[in-house]
Amino acid sequence: MTSSTRSGSAGSTPLRGESADVIVVGAGPGGSATAAYLADHGLDVVLLEKAAFPRDKICGDGLTPRATKELLSLGIDTTGWQRTLGLRIKGGGHTLQLDWPQTDSFPSYGLVRTRSQFDETLARHAERKGALLQERTSVTGPLRDGSGRVSGVTAKRLDESGRDTLESVTYRAPVVIASDGVSSRLATAVGRPKRDDRVMGVAVRAYYTTPRRDDYMESHLELWTKNDAGKRILMPGYGWLFPLEDGRTNVGLGTLDTTSAFRKTDFKDVMRRWVEDIDADWHLEPDLSAGPIRGAALPMGFNRTPLYADGLLLVGDSGGMVNPFNGEGIDYALEAARVGAEVVAQALGRPTGAARERVLARYPKAMKDELGGYFTLGRWFAHAIGNPEVMRLATKYGLPRTTLMRLLLKVMANLPEQRGGRVDDRLIHALSAMAPDA
């Protein structure tokens, strides 16, 4: 990385200029993985993060075998992390415990890790690979050249309390990667708003201690709570309990904007009531040191496009890379990091100009070829279960059928054998291939 210093206008803080091959904005899983892969390709990369590690993010913390595979590809040491053998599903008076599918394409276990630990692990991994991590650096907007192409970012330094230090910084690079979350200041600034034709979810979660030890993630397809009169009522959405290695459990619930109750329900209150309803099984005690129930939006099914144009490439939540089937986003952010870094490395090996742009334009196609049809199936599924009657019938008649539920688990977690496989694997690929990827 090269740097220079020049004076600003009278009375202002000196403006420092930095240059690199690639700037990555946001050190979440997608951003840190992208930076690590880029550094592995021998590129000079700077990774900008608004907060300082360790820092928390709202998440279920559960990682399916698909995400585990990406972590292995990235070279992350997961020794000591909670491993899961599968998923326990509850609903309609039934309980079904399913192991993760046994395939050659994915490991047979999942993982659970708090995001404060997970994100710092990936960020430090990127540093060890050679990326320059700049914490407490808040990106304020894109820089553009004379043609309108993104050529860098402006940022400001923050102090330990998160306050503006009045020190401005400019970073320049031929490629900028936005991994700055669901709101994506960079993508919005260049005219890539969220798409209204995509599903949006919301999730709330908190940490609880429990005497129960478990090797399975647990999912509740029905959320039973009690109203103020003490009557049990069924609320929209689904709940989860994901065990951690330290005796705590990540407890949360999620719902989709395809349900009529989406904008008129206090889901934090629903969660409090639901936790009371399941307490006899789990004996949950709030971990007050981890903070209260907190919520976050889940941008699904490529809800911001194009994924690349004019020097700015989107990875993770900034591009809406959350699975509409199950609300999982980390594995797709890691996959986009791997694919995106390869494309960028190939592009920067070309001369500047049209040849480079042609290579960079391969990124949206590569992601849509891999996930476009599958995400479309997920959107159709999300709209179907937005009808409470459909969800009730599916739970009542589907959950007792183990063979059907094994297929559904493989579909919802996107775990078919990648090549060949059994009839169900080929069916999943065929359905994804037939679905439009628009």
- Express each pLDDT in 7-42 by its tens digit: 333 334 434 448 999 999 999 999 999 999 999 999
Q: Torsion over CA of 124, 125, 131 and 135, rounded to 10 degrees? A: -20
Residue located via tokens 């739970």: 395
DSSP 193: P
Mean pLDDT of 65-74: 98
pLDDT at 289 > cutoff 60: yes
Mean pLDDT of 68-97: 95
Residue located via tokens 């710092």: 120
In the chain, % of residues over pLDDT 70: 96
Q: Assess whether the previous peptide bond of 364 is cis (omega < 30° from 0).
A: no
Q: What is the CA 238 to chain-centroid distance, rounded?
A: 18
Q: What is the CA 391 to chain-centroid distance, rounded?
A: 25
Burial 262-300 (b: 16+ CB within 10 A, else e): beebebeebbebbbeebeeebebebbeebeebeebbbbb
CA–CA dist 175, 345 (Å, integer): 10
Tell me the two tokens of residue 28: 């979440």
Q: Assess whether the previous peptide bond of 324 is cis (omega < 30° from 0).
A: no
Phi first, then psi, for residue 239 (nearest 5°) are: -120, 165
| pLDDT tier for residue 257 given thresholds of 50, 70 and 90 | confident
Nearest to residue 363, comparing CAs of 313, 323, 409, 329? Answer: 313
In the chain the domains, ranked by start, together with CATH numbers, are 2-81+112-196+300-377 (3.50.50.60)
pLDDT at 118 > cutoff 60: yes
Give the residue with greater pLDDT, 178 vs 385: 178
> Per residue in 363-410, pLDDT tens?
999 999 999 999 999 999 988 887 767 777 788 888 888 998 999 999
Mean pLDDT of 131-150: 96
Nearest to residue 179, comparing CAs of 327, 68, 33, 36? Answer: 33
Mean pLDDT of 47-75: 97
Is the C-alpha dihedral spanning 296, 76, 312, 433 positive or negative? negative
* pLDDT attached to residue 1: 59
36 CB-side CA count, 13 A = 28
In the chain, % of residues over pLDDT 90: 76
Using only C-alpha atoms, what is the Rg of the chain? 22
| pLDDT tier for residue 264 given thresholds of 50, 70 and 90 | confident
Mean pLDDT of 74-103: 95
> Per residue in 144-174, pLDDT tens?
999 999 999 999 999 999 999 999 999 999 9
Among 148-152, 228-232, 248-252, 376-380, the minimum mean pLDDT is found in 228-232
Nearest to residue 412, comparing CAs of 146, 62, 134, 77? Answer: 62
pLDDT at 192 > cutoff 70: yes
